[in-house]
Structures are given as structure tokens and as C-alpha cells.
Amino acid sequence: PVVTVVPDDEAIADAARATGARVLTNPHPGEGPITSMRLALTALEESLEGLIYHAVDYPCVRPETVSALLEMARASDAALVIPTYDGVRGHPSFFRERLFSELLNPALEGGARTVVHRHLEDARLVAVDDPGVRMDIDTPADYRAMSGAQVRTP
């Protein structure tokens, strides 16, 4: 796995390295999440069939959800594999290799979300029993609101 971190986030970088992940530092995190995805895509030299983009602000996603996404990705040729909880799309998402050129395009506005919307007709939705796919934690208030959810720490 590849983990991108912001500069000066050594605790996260060390925790990721301890799991065997390759750690990349995103020098431009203020330009949006797409910069982390692009950094990972350009740093990987081997040919990839796809990638799961799992943003840090969805910390409650269960490992079995990621496994379900990978299983669907292996079983289909869908451009995207997206989890749903209670019928609503969530995160993380699997992006097939044929979408990489769009994700890497510097003229792309709206980031990965734009690519998802362009290719929804070629997506497979995976229903999961995991509210974590919808728990976007961006602020201390968000964190307090999900106080009943189990949060894993590195």
C-alpha cells in the first residue's frame, strides 16, 4: 500500500511505515485531495489494475468493506466500485486503471468526484453494513458527533 501524508506528520508516517506501507509526503495538500491521489499514481512504477482511494477523513471504514470492494473489482470490469450504506454512496472508492489519465489531468476541475460522476454508468455499487463509509470527519464537531462510532488509531 501507499500512504500519502502532509509535511511534518511524522506520527502518521511512522505508523504507516510500521505496517509496511510506502509513505509519500504531499507537498501541496492545500490544493485538495486529488494531489495525494496524483502523487501516489505518479510514484508507482508498476502497472496497476486500479486503486482504492481511501481519504483520511473516513476513519471508521471497516476492513471488510475494503475487502468487499476488492472482491467486486476482481469479479467485474467496472470502471468504479463504490460502497453504499442505506442506499447512499460512500467512501472509499476503487478506480480502474482506465480512469487514471483523467485523474492525472491537471485541467480536471472538481477532483476525483468529477471522474466518479462522469463514469457512474460504469460503476458497481456494493451494499455494505458499514456506516463508516458515510462518516466524513472534518472538524472537531464531526468527531464529537460520531463519538459512538469505533475509531481505530494507528
The full DSSP string for 2-62 is EEEE-TT-HHHHHHHHHTT-EEEE-S-GGG-THHHHHHHHHH--S--SEEEE--TT-TT--
69-112 pLDDT per residue, tens: 999 999 999 999 999 999 999 999 999 999 999 999 999 999 99
Grid cell digits, residue 63: 476492513
Q: 113 falls in which pLDDT band (50, 70, 90)?
A: very high
Enumerate the CATH 3.90.550.10 domain ranges in the chain, comma separated: 48-154
Calpha distance 147→107 (Å, rounded)? 39
Q: pLDDT digits over 25-58, tens only? A: 999 999 999 999 999 999 987 778 999 999 989 9
Q: pLDDT tens across 1-22, in order?
A: 899 999 988 999 999 999 999 9
Global pTM value: 0.88
Residue 61 near residue 91, CB atoms below 8 Å: yes
**Domain 48-154, CATH:** 3.90.550.10
